[in-house]
Amino acid sequence: MRLIKFLCTISLLFFAAVSIAQDQKKYDERAEVQTFIAEMVEEDFDQAELTALFAGAIYKQSIVDAISRPAERVLTWKEYQDIFLTDLRVSRGTEFIHENRDALVRAEKEYGVPALIITSIIGVETMYGRNKGSYRVIDSLSTLAFDYPPRSKFFRQELKHFLRLAREEGRDPAEPIGSYAGAMGYGQFISSSFREYAIDFDGDGVRDIWTNKQDAIGSVANYLSRHGWRRNEFVALPASTPSNEARALFNVSLKPSSTVAEMTKAGVTVDENLAGEMTVSPMTLNGIQGEEHWLGLQNFYAITRYNHSKLYAMAVYQLSERLKMSLLASSDY
């Protein structure tokens, strides 16, 4: 009897789960989606077209699972290095530089962002365009906007930006492909970032970060420039091992908030001669070689505006340094 009751309970739970999943897929019938559509109609969107679009939008549990465990929260710096600082990523990055040299040189000249940093961001984000995502953006953003309460407000705004983007760029909103979070193209721009920072770098009249490498390169450079990148300045510098007292100054903030003078007074030094009033962000990372101590500068902070993680920014910076070494070894730098 207990076994029968157990099996009945399991069956009920199974069918309930199926019913919930089916309800989640019918976005156009849900009250909150209808309210959302009404808001977009006020911006002169067509109600019938949006209703049809959301009727075809599909809930994806894998998206909710993925966003609940982003790599920056789960991985250590050592594990991060193992993923993003590989020989394969360096060799493919070197190929990317050779294939797109003209666009990279022009982007560096116009925006002040080094070609190596632009390449590294694209390398970390998508392995130079090989992993640009496999989800329809409409599915990603619908799932997160209406079925992920922790960040539903943010993703409803991104969904609005995506629909505006599609209209502005003349794209069918059912077609663009991206990541589980709705990030798109070589540089993985979310919709609001696309509208604000994506550029038509090759002058063909279209902002295409999905298939046009020139536009992707120019857009990444423009993004970093607009977020405070400083031409010809350092990104991060290795620092001396801090004393126990000085450790209190480390890993406090991504934004540079301690001065070089304060760090020097605390006994923390770097090999470069920096102005005492320059602000830095001291950090300690536990990597493959053990503890690493760094001072992040303004350009390091600019990279964290792309992804709010010191692990991400350090991976981008160190990949750029390895790319430089690869190019030097081949006399191409």
- Long-range contacts from 34-37, C-beta under 8 angstroms, 24+ separation: 36/145, 36/146, 36/156, 36/159
Whole-model pTM: value is: 0.91
Q: Are 235 and 300 in contact (CB under 8 A)?
A: yes
User: Alpha carbon 266 to chain centroid distance?
Assistant: 34
Residue 173, SS3?
coil
Task: Indicate the helix (H) or strand (E) that contains 238.
Answer: strand 236-238
Q: Can you give the pLDDT at residue 210? A: 98
Q: What is the CA radius of gyration of the chain?
A: 23
Q: Can you give the pLDDT at residue 14? A: 38
Residue type, 242: P
Domain boundaries, the chain: 30-59+134-178
Task: Indicate the helix (H) or strand (E) that contains 259.
Answer: strand 258-259
Counting Cβ atoms within 10 Å, is residue 281 exposed (0-12), middle (13-18) or buried (19+)? buried
Q: Can you give the pLDDT at residue 15? A: 32
Q: Can you give the pLDDT at residue 25? A: 55
What is the residue-level pLDDT of the chain in tens, covering all 333 positions? 444 444 444 433 333 343 344 445 589 999 999 999 999 999 999 999 999 999 999 999 999 999 998 776 778 999 999 999 999 999 999 999 999 999 999 999 999 999 999 999 999 999 999 999 999 999 999 999 999 999 999 999 999 999 999 999 999 999 999 999 999 999 999 999 999 999 999 999 999 999 999 999 999 999 999 999 999 999 999 999 999 999 999 999 999 999 999 999 999 999 999 999 999 999 999 999 999 999 999 999 999 999 999 999 999 999 999 999 999 998 776
Residue 299, SS3?
helix
Question: Catalytic site residues?
Answer: 125
Q: Can you give the pLDDT at residue 265? A: 96
Superfamily, domain 30-59+134-178: Bacterial muramidase (1.10.8.350)
Q: Are 262 and 249 in contact (CB under 8 A)?
A: yes
Q: Which residue in this structure is represented by tokens 């721009």? A: 189
